[in-house]
Structure 1
Amino acid sequence: MRQARRLSFVLLSLAAAAAVYLSAGLIGAAWVTNRDWRPPAEGVTIWIEDNGIHTDLVMPKQAAGVDWRRVFGGGALREPAYAGFAHVAVGWGERGFFVNTPTWWDLRPGTVIAAAVGSEDTVLHVEHVPRPVEGERVRAVVLTPAEYRRLARVVRGSLAAGEPVRGYAGYDAFYPAHGRYDLLNTCNAWTGRALRRAGVRVGRWTPFSATVSWWL
């Protein structure tokens, strides 16, 4: 009986903590920043890709004076020919979660717990991709050249010194990154922060993938 009560208490505590976290995330995303932002009629198009859990920024390799070819070269790829694609998809996150989880079937409870507790070992996951097609999970956003350069500075500032590691397939690689990953600073919070610093209308805190695009 005592063990059953303890188990019930633990489960209720976990449920309450999850509810608080979810509510805080929704409130943070509803607190809009850069309220007066509007996309320009012409500019640099980027995309936000959302797989339901994680978001990536997809950017043209050459635009507004930014040249990602010098930063994310084909030499880091298992198949360098993919570097011929005109766009890069960049996401930030915890190394163990990224590197050890090529598919969701590979996800382990220990990996989730370690990432949630927090880790200083973070990476940028960079994929060389063709121009995305806008759809349910892909949102196009047009930026002014100045906004795109600010966005690029945030991404570039997240890159740390060190050698990249080849990724899951021939077209991607992992680069050492700055920053601590935890429940407050998630991969999606990073995406939202990059957009916010670029000047885009976005929530103050976006820990969930669905909340990144709320105001776009």
Structure 2
Amino acid sequence: MNIKKKIARLILKFVLGFVAFVLLYALSAFIFSIWTVNKEPGTSNDVAIYILTNGDHTDIVLPVKTAVIDWSKELSYQNTIAKDTTNKYLAIGWGDKGFYLNTPTWADLKFSTAFKAAFALSTSAIHATYYRDMRENNDCKKIMISDEQYKRMVAFIDSSFKRNAAGKVINIKTNANYGNDDAFYEAKRKYNMFYTCNTWANNALKAGGQTACVWTPFDRGIFYHYR
């Protein structure tokens, strides 16, 4: 009887601890998401970038070619199915490799994939998608930044790619493409519940001196500041 009581108490403590952790995580995400990191004042509007969400994940959308960088030189059009060189914008997102390659829809999500992602047990990838043009709406917001800010943002994004011995980005050969204009690349760092795809996008905005959250694991945190 005593053993059963001890087991019951342990289970109760575990359940209460888990619930407390979830509530603390949610509260922290809410507070730090609405806590604003202000945009750098007095800067010029040289480059138009965008933030784009699919409802869960935030991409940073950049012009393919500017005086600062030509993304197509490393993230080649040839790595996509369409190989369409007329596309003018490139959406870049960072995330868990298992989610990107093995979970095309939420219905395909496996517990093992989610568990590994939450606890940094898998590797990461960068998803790069070319677009012909961009249209502003509730899921796509335009941001004007200076060349200097753009250089810093580019440096942050560039540092997220894993490279081979020759210093080249590593294209992931896969049939898990989302469409005809996207490709995947090996990335640094591991996804976890405290550093998600949206945390990465938020940090990219910070690197470029733009309005951002103090911290957020969710896309809603980022877009809250760009209503």
State the TM-score, normalizing by the size of structure 2: 0.84
Contact persistence 1:76–1:164 (CA under 8 A)? no
Q: Of 141, 159, 162, which residue of structure 2 is paired with 1:160?
A: 162
Structure 2 letter corresponding to 1:101:
T
Q: Aligned partners of 1:130 and 1:15: how far apart in 2?
A: 45
Q: Of 29, 50, 54, which residue of structure 2 is paired with 1:47?
A: 50
SS at match of 1:29: helix
Quote the sequence identity (%): 28
State the TM-score, normalizing by the size of structure 1: 0.88
SS at match of 1:84: coil
| Structure ID, larger Rg | 2
Cα separation, partners in 2 of 1:108 and 1:38, compared to 1, 3 Å: farther
Q: Aligned partners of 1:52 and 1:86: how far apart in 2?
A: 23
Q: Aligned partners of 1:76 and 1:201: how far apart in 2?
A: 33
Q: Aligned partners of 1:102 and 1:168: how far apart in 2?
A: 7
Structure 1 letter corresponding to 2:222:
V
Q: Cα distance, 1:204 vs. partner?
A: 1.7
Cα separation, partners in 2 of 1:36 and 1:99, compared to 1, 3 Å: closer
Gaps of 5+ in 2: 164-169
Q: Does 1:80 align with 2:83?
A: yes
Contact persistence 1:94–1:119 (CA under 8 A)? no
Q: Of 54, 59, 62, which residue of structure 1 is paired with 2:65?
A: 62
Cα separation, partners in 2 of 1:76 and 1:39, compared to 1, 3 Å: farther
Cα separation, partners in 2 of 1:4 and 1:140, compared to 1, 3 Å: farther
Q: Cα distance, 1:119 vs. partner?
A: 3.4
Q: Cα distance, 1:18 vs. partner?
A: 1.5
CA-based RMSD of the aligned residues comes to: 2.3
Alignment match, 1:30: 34
Q: Aligned partners of 2:39 and 2:73: how far apart in 1?
A: 34
Q: Greater shift after overlay, 18-27 or 102-111? A: 102-111
Q: Aligned partners of 2:39 and 2:118: how far apart in 1?
A: 34
